[in-house]
């Protein structure tokens, strides 16, 4: 596919839809139940409008910023997304390489299909490790120690997965709950021979977990059945704080009191997130709660937001509302599914170009100029 023809993230989404089998596209694109929250994430951005400053010299602009104390070429993080290897052969590595080349951090998912060590060795860049908490705490703690040894800079503890959201697209295709693909899904795969020959030639494996399970236990069966621990609570989070010496983020926060509590427990930052509308349907968006959280914890911790970022102007709206950066989930995953690392690069280039124009047209020279007076709600 000619990635240059993609002018927007929506164009990359359309390319991804053509390139991969329907069940893969639906896994990436879909949300839970009626997808109310999935769509509302976009609405939260659309409700915000700019009040640009005029007659400002914006001939010199700088898109770079600091995220969680380190440099980033753009105020974005390529977010933790599981099963990237379904979108493109060696998807996690491709994503990591593109993020490193673009100079932005990448959060590797617990359910990546390459080991966290391989990704660190082969891609480099600023790497964060996203941790799901398993019922078997020994597995989680081993993963945390491995991420530390491999040089990961930050740990993201995801807290919005007590149980899986009801994702009806995945239930229909047979991807969930136990990857028993239906006949229509199998026929559709046959209609995508290139995907079949490249991506499907590798059996999906949850390598990070597999290594911890020991002989005779298969991660593919371990994960869906016995997945994450619904008993996860604040005491656990405090224990992770003791265990992990690097930067610590809590992802899945949607309340001011929880954001404050995370900081009191020693978090270096919070990610205001509803998991891209894939968990509780009908929940508010990270953007909806952002101003109140900023009022409560500004200056004490990094505030990162995600959900529905598809334009550079969305990044600017989040920053003007007080976020330090945004996490990109689907935006970069569509790029990956459309064209591997080159597709991710294309997605980041599109967003970077749009963010740059948004700064200029708002009379801003850098992220630091994006202040709350620049936006209003309609
Ligand atoms: C296909 C897919 C897989 C995801 N897997 C994970 C994951 O493994 N861990 C996690 O913390 N969040 C995961 N997320 C959520 C993202 O990190 C992020 O919160 C969300 O995608 C942001 O919304 P957006 O896709 O609209 O940008 C996933 C999202 C998608 C779309």
The ligand 1 atom at the shortest distance from the C-alpha of residue 308 is 26
Question: β-strand 302-306 against 269-272: which pairing, if any?
Answer: parallel
Task: Judge whether 30 and 359 are in contact, CB under 8 Å.
Answer: no
Best probe residue, ligand 1, of 158, 275, 310, 331 (max atoms within 8 Å of C-beta): 275
Give the DSSP letter string of 314-339: HHHHHHHTT-SEEEESHHHHHHHHHH
Cα 194 to ligand 1 centroid, rounded to whole Å: 26
Q: Whose CA is nearest to atom 17 of ligand 1?
A: 80
Please classify residue 9 by burial: count the beta carbons closer than 10 Å to its beta carbon, then call 0-12 exposed, 13-18 middle and 19+ buried: buried
Best probe residue, ligand 1, of 30, 42, 80, 287 (max atoms within 8 Å of C-beta): 80
Tokens of 88: 């493109």
Best probe residue, ligand 1, of 329, 337, 347 (max atoms within 8 Å of C-beta): 329
The candidate with the shortest Cα–Cα distance to 278, out of 58, 71, 28, 49, is: 28
Domains in the chain: ranges and CATH: 3-377 (3.20.20.70)
Task: State pLDDT tens for residues 81-128.
Answer: 999 999 999 999 999 999 999 999 999 999 999 999 999 999 999 999
Q: What is the pLDDT of residue 223?
A: 60
Tokens of 203: 């059996």
Q: What is the pLDDT of residue 221?
A: 61
Rounded to 5 degrees, φ, ψ at 292 are -70, -40
Residue position matching structure tokens 């950066």:
325
Q: What is the pLDDT of residue 200?
A: 83
The candidate with the shortest Cα–Cα distance to 24, out of 208, 160, 191, 251, is: 191
The ligand 1 atom at the shortest distance from the C-alpha of residue 111 is 8
Q: Whose CA is nearest to atom 4 of ligand 1?
A: 81
Nearby residues of 310 by Cβ (< 8 Å), 6 or more positions away: 8, 9, 10, 42, 330, 331
Q: What is the DSSP-derived secondary structure letter of residue 174?
A: T
Per-residue pLDDT of the chain (378 residues; tens, 9 = 90+): 799 999 999 999 999 999 999 999 999 999 999 999 999 999 999 999 999 999 999 999 999 999 999 999 999 999 999 999 999 999 999 999 999 999 999 999 999 999 999 999 999 999 999 999 998 889 999 999 999 999 999 999 999 999 999 999 999 999 988 788 999 999 999 999 999 988 987 766 788 988 887 766 766 665 655 578 999 999 999 999 999 999 999 999 999 999 999 999 999 999 999 999 999 999 999 999 999 999 999 999 999 999 999 999 999 999 999 999 999 999 999 999 999 999 999 999 999 999 999 999 999 999 999 999 999 999
Cα 215 to ligand 1 centroid, rounded to whole Å: 30
Tell whether pTM > 0.85: yes
Cα 330 to ligand 1 centroid, rounded to whole Å: 7
Cα 277 to ligand 1 centroid, rounded to whole Å: 9
Nearby residues of 217 by Cβ (< 8 Å), 6 or more positions away: none
Cα 111 to ligand 1 centroid, rounded to whole Å: 11
Q: Which residues line ligand 1 (CB under 6 A)?
A: 27-28, 41, 79-82, 109, 111, 130, 158, 251, 273, 275-276, 278, 306-309, 327-331, 333
Is 275 labeled as catalytic in the residue annotation?
Answer: yes
Cα 364 to ligand 1 centroid, rounded to whole Å: 30
Of the residues 90, 114, 192, 275, which is catalytic? 275
Nearby residues of 315 by Cβ (< 8 Å), 6 or more positions away: 74, 75, 76, 309, 326, 351, 355, 358
CA distance 179 to 271: 30
Nearby residues of 24 by Cβ (< 8 Å), 6 or more positions away: 86, 87, 195, 337
The ligand 1 atom at the shortest distance from the C-alpha of residue 328 is 27
Nearest-10 crossing angle of helices 9-19, 22-29: 150
CA distance 131 to 251: 10
Q: What is the pLDDT of residue 299?
A: 97
């Amino acid at each position: 596919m000619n990635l240059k023809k993609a002018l927007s993230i929506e164009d990359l989404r359309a390319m991804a839809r053509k390139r991969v089998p329907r069940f893969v596209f639906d896994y990436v694109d879909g949300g839970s139940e009626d997808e109310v929250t999935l769509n509302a994430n976009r609405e939260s951005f659309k409700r915000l409008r700019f009040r640009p400053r005029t007659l400002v010299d914006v001939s010199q602009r700088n898109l770079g910023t600091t995220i969680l104390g380190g440099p980033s070429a753009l105020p974005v993080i390529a977010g933790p997304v599981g099963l990237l290897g379904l979108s493109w052969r060696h998807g996690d590595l491709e994503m990591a390489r593109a993020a490193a080349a673009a100079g932005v951090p990448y959060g590797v998912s617990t359910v990546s299909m390459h080991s966290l060590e391989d990704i660190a060795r082969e891609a480099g860049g600023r790497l964060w490790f996203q941790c799901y908490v398993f019922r078997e705490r020994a597995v989680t703690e081993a993963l945390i120690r491995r991420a530390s040894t491999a040089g990961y800079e930050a740990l993201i503890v995801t807290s919005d997965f007590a149980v899986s959201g009801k994702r009806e697209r995945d239930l229909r295709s047979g991807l969930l709950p136990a990857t028993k693909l239906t006949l229509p899904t199998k026929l559709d795969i046959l209609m995508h021979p290139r995907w079949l020959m490249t991506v499907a030639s590798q059996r999906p494996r949850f390598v990070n977990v597999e290594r911890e399970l020991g002989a005779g236990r298969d991660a593919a069966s371990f994960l869906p059945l016995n997945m994450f621990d619904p008993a996860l609570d604040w005491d656990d989070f405090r224990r992770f704080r003791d265990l992990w010496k690097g930067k610590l983020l809590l992802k899945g926060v949607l309340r001011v009191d929880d954001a404050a509590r995370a900081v009191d427990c020693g978090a270096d930052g919070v990610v205001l997130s509803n998991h891209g509308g894939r968990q509780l349907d009908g929940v508010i968006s990270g953007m909806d709660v952002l101003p109140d959280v900023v009022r409560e914890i500004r200056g004490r911790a990094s505030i990162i937001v995600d959900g529905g970022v598809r334009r550079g102007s969305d990044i600017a709206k989040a920053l003007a509302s007080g976020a330090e950066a945004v996490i990109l989930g689907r935006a970069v995953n569509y790029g990956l599914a459309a064209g591997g690392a080159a597709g991710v690069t294309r997605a980041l280039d599109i967003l970077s170009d749009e963010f740059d124009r948004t700064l200029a047209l708002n009379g801003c020279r850098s992220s630091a100029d994006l202040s709350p007076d620049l936006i209003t709600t309609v």
